[in-house]
Amino acid sequence: MSRNNIKIILGLFLALSIILPVNVMSPMFSTNDLDNVQGSVDSIPVIETKTIKNDDCMYKVWVGGELHYTKIYYQMSKDEGSRWSDAKTITDETYTPVSVQFLENKKTLHLIWEDGTQRGFTTYYMKSSDDGATWSKPMNAGFKNPKMVLDNNIIYVLSTTSDRKMSISRSEDEGSIFIQVGPDIDFSSFTNDIMVNDGRMHLVFSGGIREPETGMHRNMGIYYIFSKDGVHWNDAVKVSEVEAPVNSVSIKNGNNLLYVKWTEDKERECLTYMKTSLNGISWDKKEIVDAVEIPQARHNPTVSSRAKAAEKVDK
């Protein structure tokens, strides 16, 4: 073959490589660009999934992908979860979601996620009013470890700053703008929970007051704090002392009572305690409501006898 013919062939190939899409010229594709790859969704590692149900529809969001290359995927089912729509991404490479929370209210889907793109974690909020067909622009709604609650069309997001201070963001315009509403207290928080009823905020957390000189925390315990409007906060009330690291804490109400539960890691078991209160100021005796043995090497965790649920502990 003459040199001129070779030059002509190479020139044609170069022209085609410029005109045609990359995926036509090459059988290779990026494993991170999963949106246009048929059947590839099943192979995506799933980090966390949240599902909610409204009437005859079920909605599911999940965080999927490899480390530093994660996205949030959305699916819908109209037959009780037997068949799901094709998964579609609702975040792009701009974000790196690590966890997600999903709520529904009056046919609007509300979504927050903790994002690890930056060194300090950020919480973002999105919503959809058309069954997930379109989603609003992500809005900054807080910091790390977020929890979202809805109250009379108002959105509340509780999160924790990098120095363990609690922050509550509130949106009264369906997520267009979030404004921080407190609480401004000296306590550090290691784990927390929020409940809102008609604008009244009930906040519970495990924590203490940090000593600047030593970095140590004093007065560690479970605390409750209340606000009627999110602006003025009552003083924190100690619900209970703690004897071990606290894994989780929660607050609920029912039968005109406040219920606070928390879980402590003991040497050989994980104990869940509960206290109740009529007014949030004085609290009943602590009781154990669940106990799970901490697994030793090569052993599975087992739930201890329910007889422990009746055990009362004075504190």
Q: What residues does each domain of the chain span?
A: 1-29
> Mean pLDDT of all residues in the chain?
84
Interval 254-282 mean pLDDT: 95
Cβ contacts of 105 within 8 Å, gap of 6 or more: 150, 153
Does the structure show a pLDDT above 70 at 308?
A: no
Strand-strand pairing, 97-105 and 88-89: unpaired
Amino acid at 240: S
Handedness of CA 42, 98, 62, 29 (dihedral sign): negative
Does the structure show a pLDDT above 90 at 128?
A: yes
Burial of 259 (0-12, 13-18, 19+ CB in 10 A): middle
Judge whether 272 and 255 are in contact, CB under 8 Å.
Answer: no
From the list 259, 285, 262, the residue with the least C-alpha distance to 272 is: 262
β-bridge mates for residue 74, sequence order = 61, 88
Does the structure show a pLDDT above 90 at 306?
A: no
Judge whether 114 and 98 are in contact, CB under 8 Å.
Answer: yes
Does the structure show a pLDDT above 90 at 230?
A: no
* pLDDT recorded at residue 1: 52
pTM of the model: 0.80
Helices (H), the chain: 3-19, 22-25
Lowest mean pLDDT: which of 22-36, 53-67, 257-271? 22-36
Does the structure show a pLDDT above 60 at 183?
A: yes
The length of the chain in residues reads: 315
Does the structure show a pLDDT above 50 at 314?
A: no
* pLDDT recorded at residue 55: 83
* pLDDT recorded at residue 297: 56
For residue 303, give the DSSP letter: B
